[in-house]
Amino acid sequence: MSSEPYDPYIPSGQGSQGSSRDPRTAAIQNDIDKTVDKMRENIDNLAKREHNLNQLQQKTGDLADTAGNFRRSANKVRKKMWWNVSISTIPICRTVSYCVSGDEDAHLARHRHRRPSRHHYHPSGFAVPPSCVESSNSI
């Protein structure tokens, strides 16, 4: 009995030397080895591809979150700027209405009845709070 393991592809009586193998068997074994190497390479590439796809999916999710935050921030800024423009147009409208109506003193005189009576009025037409007016008792 020989010390070499049994190989059904090698005819009995021949050893496991490569030179004594049948050329067809050697060609088939060579093709099998190439196929196995190619399959291992494909499995490695598949693992790399899966890793890259997972990274891409994570980056896509992060980008979607960032886009949502940007949209909310942009809406807040847009509303704030609209409010600022709206507020800044009020004095402009008042100035234009004063210019169109003519005399500003006449405008103040027309609206003097709206002011509370507890205030005194400066000659310019503006209300002066009682705390700023000298009382006649303090003399």
3-state SS, one letter per residue, for 10-56: CCCCCCCCHHHCCHHHHHHHHHHHHHHHHHHHHHHHHHHHHHHHHHH
Q: How much is the pLDDT for 4?
A: 72
Quick one: pLDDT band at residue 30, thresholds 50, 70, 90? very high
* Residues 101 and 107: beta-carbon distance below 8 Å: yes
The whole-angstrom separation of Cα 68 and Cα 71 is: 5
Average pLDDT over residues 30-55: 96
Tokens 């390479």 — which residue?
Answer: 41
Q: How much is the pLDDT for 65?
A: 95
* Residues 110 and 98: beta-carbon distance below 8 Å: no
Quick one: pLDDT band at residue 18, thresholds 50, 70, 90? very low
Record the pTM: 0.40
Mean per-residue pLDDT of the chain = 77
Task: For 67-116, write each residue's pLDDT tens digit.
Answer: 999 999 999 999 999 888 888 888 777 777 777 766 555 555 555 555 45
